[in-house]
Structure 1
Amino acid sequence: MPEETHIGARLRKIRKRRGLSQRDLAVASGVSLSLIRKLEQGTLDDTRMETAHQLAVGLRVPTSSLLERDDEESADDTAGQWRPLRQAVQIAALHEGEAPTVDGVRAMLPEVRAAYFDNRLGELTGLLSPLLRDADALGDTTDARDVRSHLLQIAGSTLTQVRQYSAAETALRRALDDAPDRLRAAGIIATWSWLLVRQGKLAASRELATRWADDVEPRLSRATPEELAAWGWLLMQASAANLRDNRRGEADDTMRLARSVAVLMGRELPRGTERLTTWGPATVRYKAAERHIVLDQPDRVLRAATRPGGLAVSTEYHRHRLDVAKAHVMMRQYGESISVLTEVNVNAPEWLASQRYARDILSDVVAKRRTLTPEMRTLADAVGLPM
């Protein structure tokens, strides 16, 4: 069997990517250590499907991924900051000690959501990693799957933000498997579509969001606000993928429909007890401004620039402010760009530190300046820009 398709080679590659020893994998999968060693050493060319499945369960990957070549490499995490969260979603672990309860895990959700919405990413990782282990031990009751799905979606969104794409995909796939209803599933798909855009998989993102938008389209005469929010977000994700894939007509059509849904809402729907995003006219304005960055229309971004007013400042708002900073750079208004980046750094320092987009914007400013102000140096440290 060729080396690149040999199950042992695939097993070794994924195991190392997960940061597991052979002994760790034996414990997680229930497959004997000696068999794992023989497979990885190539002394066994094949194994039973049941064994491959056990190994895949232990590694949190589809069984087919052990049987097919996969050239994707995990994203950089040189400091190992995100390793605990990656492992919590990717590696099956045995739970030791007192068994967790659904009520106990659910009681932690408000604290997890608060850290997520406040962009306290380090704290969020510390909360999520052990809580996901507990959620894994809850079994497969409806309540257990519900709370686990919610935690996994938060993990998938967080891992996407910090460019841990392989782990993010695992988290979202698992979240979708456990989703208790179509609304939760639609929210997970919207996050997954965003992940695919971040990976440059524009056709896949477009097709996924469009298919689900068609499936969940409600009857407007009786649609609930939550149904409109789920549908609207899928439309916006489809529009974003279409626009970046040079399908301007389809992008315009889906964004126009998303705007209509927002107008029908008539107000900004705050984050509920389960939804991870706001929805309404303000959110659509943020996304509409983003379109003008893609279309090289910075003046229109600045004309459309908005402030949150009485709304809670959301991650979508912070992304919008980065678009405003980028538009200032495109207009050669470097001081204004620095002011916007400084504002975001004050309001969401941990989030900004994980944004490559912010680093690229600041790099463009630095390249145009002979000397750097103290404010620029502070921002360079905040986003990890080499000086």
Structure 2
Amino acid sequence: MSTRNVGQRLQAARKLRGLTQKELATLAGVSLSLVRKIEQGEKEGMRLETLRRFAAALRVPTSDLIAPPTGDRTDTGNAGQWQPIHRALQGLHGDSLDEPPTVQGVSKAFHALMPLFSGDQYSKLSAALPPLLRDADELGAEARPVRARVLHHTGWLLTQTRQFDMAETALHRALNDASDGFDVAAIISTLAWLKLRQGHLAETLALTSAWADDVEPRISRATMAELSAWGWLLVRLSTAAARNAQPGDAEDAIRLARTAAVAMGAEYSPPNDFLRAFGPLTVAMKRAENAMVEDRPDRVIAMSSQIPVSDLRPTSNNRNRHLLDVAQARVTLRQHAEAFDVLQGIRLDAPEWISNQCYAEDIFGQIVSRRRTLTPDMREFANFLHMTV
């Protein structure tokens, strides 16, 4: 990653802590000359592992030192923003740096990025992932598990931002490196989500049905990880069936997913991997999603009233996607002001996420088309989505 803006942030954080360059170098375990070069913008590139060392020494999140691209809205047409990730996935890393990566360092750097993934901080991730992908690629076979996780989350990010071809590349590379059965199941779940977003319903049904059968655990002895892996595959299966006009199959799958969730007793949130979070509330939100697909807005609103979304972390996989269904239900019921309030709430929590959602644009477009005049807030929201009204 470029060190110019990183150097400015590093210097500001160092001064805020009252540290000299030499003291920071000692705390981070790096040379004084490296600190000087970075702060002066003289170093051509820097490993994310090194950045994490600085963050730990300064007691700040690694993300605070990552300089995102200019602009406050992620745009999938911005080749300059995403091209470095595309190139990194193709092994086009450029010259290697002087600092050799380590498995432990890459793992720690990846974990430091988890708040960016779960918080939908796409701009910062677009800057942080290319050097991490390069570091992971330079490691040997012993790094396969951590490399699989980095590639998996990269595939998830690219799916989220509608870069489907490169998302598929990342996910298939992740599958090639994954050896743990739960890791494979989690990657398959994300791959199924990718295929859903591409409209490949029959392929999704076949994929999730086969894998759900393969990983089905004995409920009485299943671990939380096993139930989560099985439950997510069933959720993807149910979603595909609902969209494929197979309501009976959709209901059968979601009932089995609920069986897994009930056995868990509560939402399962494994540390450092929000993609595997699963439980009764997840299933309830996916039931509501199916109801919206089946054009049952009253049912969506009724189900939503039983889901304590205010208590849930605003992650894109679950809460915000559910809230879009609520907004769509409100529009269908001609409750336009209420629907817009929901959209505004999502924007407040996850601006980069909602700006990448075609569903959100469609919902807002329906609101606009059914009103004679727009409020100033609505016009500002249209500008935020780069929509002409």
Using the size of structure 1 for normalisation, the TM-score is 0.77
The one-letter amino acid of 1:83's match is Q
8 A Cα contact 1:95 1:137, kept in partner: no
Matched, 1:84 2:101: no
Q: Are the equivalent residues in 2 in contact too, given 1:90–1:171 (CA < 8 A)?
A: no
Aligned twin of 1:357: 359
Residues 351-380 of structure 1 show CA distances to partners (whole Å, capped at 9, x for unaligned) of 111111111111111111121111111221
Q: Which blocks of at least 5 consecutive residues in structure 2 are unaligned? A: 1-74
Deviation per residue, 1:229-276 (Å, 9 max, x gap): 000000000111111112222111111111111111111111433452
Aligned-partner Cα distance in 2 for 1:338–1:309? 17
CA distance in 2, matches of 1:178, 1:79: 28
Q: Following the alignment from structure 1 to structure 2, what is the Cα–Cα distance between the partners of residues 373 and 241? A: 37
Corresponding residue number in structure 1 for 2:120: 119
* Equivalent AA in structure 1 for residue 86 of structure 2: R
The answer to whether the Cα contact below 8 Å between 1:121 and 1:350 also exists between their aligned partners in 2 is yes
Q: CA deviation at 1:210?
A: 0.9
Alpha-carbon distance, 1:113 to partner: 1.0
Alignment partner of 1:329 out of 313, 319, 331: 331
Q: Give, in whole Å, the separation in 2 of the partners of 1:80 and 1:298.
A: 40
Judged with a 3 Å threshold, the aligned counterparts in structure 2 of structure 1 residues 382 and 106 are, in CA distance, closer, same or farther, namely: same
How much does 1:313 deviate?
Answer: 2.8
1:280 and 2:270 matched: no
Counterpart residue identity of residue 333, structure 1: Q
Distance in 1 (alpha carbons) for counterparts of 2:232 and 2:315: 15
The AA in structure 2 aligned to 1:155 is T
Distance in 2 separating the partners of 1:260 and 1:220: 9
Question: How far, CA to CA, are the matches of 1:348 and 1:118 in structure 2?
Answer: 7
Which residue matches 1:3? none
Q: How does 1:248-259 map to 2 (within 5 A)?
A: 248-259=247-258
1:30 match: none
TM-score (normalised: structure 2): 0.77
SS in 2 for 1:299: helix
Bigger RCO of structures 1 and 2 (CA < 8 A, at least 6 apart): 2
The residue identity in structure 2 corresponding to 1:85 is I
- Which residue is equivalent to 1:11? none
What one-letter code is carried by the residue in structure 2 that aligns with 1:247? Q
Preserved CA contact (<8 Å) 1:206 1:242: yes
What is residue 6 of structure 2 aligned with on the other side? none
1:292 and 1:235, CA in 2 relative to 1: closer, same or farther beyond 3 A? same
Q: Does 1:96 align with 2:96?
A: yes
1:289–1:323 CA contact under 8 A, matched in 2 = yes
Partner SS for 1:218: coil
Gaps of 5+ in 1: 1-74
| CA distance in structure 1 between the partners assigned to 2:366 and 2:265 by the alignment | 39
Cα separation, 1, equivalents of 2:87 and 2:332? 40
- Alpha-carbon distance in structure 1 between the residues aligned to 2:247 and 2:97: 56
Does the 8 Å CA contact 2:87/2:93 hold for their aligned counterparts? Answer: no
Post-superposition offset of 1:97: 1.9
| 1:156 and 1:169 in contact (8 A); partners too | yes
Are the equivalent residues in 1 in contact too, given 2:91–2:134 (CA < 8 A)?
no
Cα–Cα, structure 1 residues 214 and 113, in superposed 2: closer, same or farther, change >3 Å?
Answer: same
The aligned length equals: 311
Query: Deviations 1:320-343 (Å, cap 9, x if unpaired)?
Result: 111111111111111001000000
Residue aligning to 1:53? none
Instruction: Name the structure 1 match of 2:9.
Output: none
Over the aligned positions, Cα root-mean-square deviation in angstroms equals: 1.6
What CA distance in whole angstroms lies between the structure 2 residues aligned with 1:213 and 1:95? 43
Q: Which whole-Å CA distance do the structure 1 matches of 2:323 and 2:311 have between them?
A: 17
1:239 corresponds to: 238
> C-alpha separation between the residues in 2 aligned to 1:338 and 1:134?
43
1:184 partner amino acid: D
Over 3 Å counting, the alpha-carbon distance change for 1:198 and 1:252 in structure 2 is same
Q: Given residue 137 of structure 1, which amino acid in structure 2 is its aligned partner?
A: E
Q: CA deviation at 1:94?
A: 5.2
Range that drifts further, 370-379 or 84-93: 84-93
Taking the aligned partners of 1:167 and 1:375, their CA distance within structure 2 comes to 36
Structure 2 counterparts to residues 119-198 of structure 1, below 5 A: 119-141=120-142, 144-198=143-197
| Cα deviation code 1:155-199 (max 9, x no counterpart) | 111100111000000000001111130001000000000000100
- Counterpart code for 2:155: G
- Following TM superposition, by how much is the alpha carbon of 1:206 offset from its aligned partner in structure 2, in angstroms? 0.9
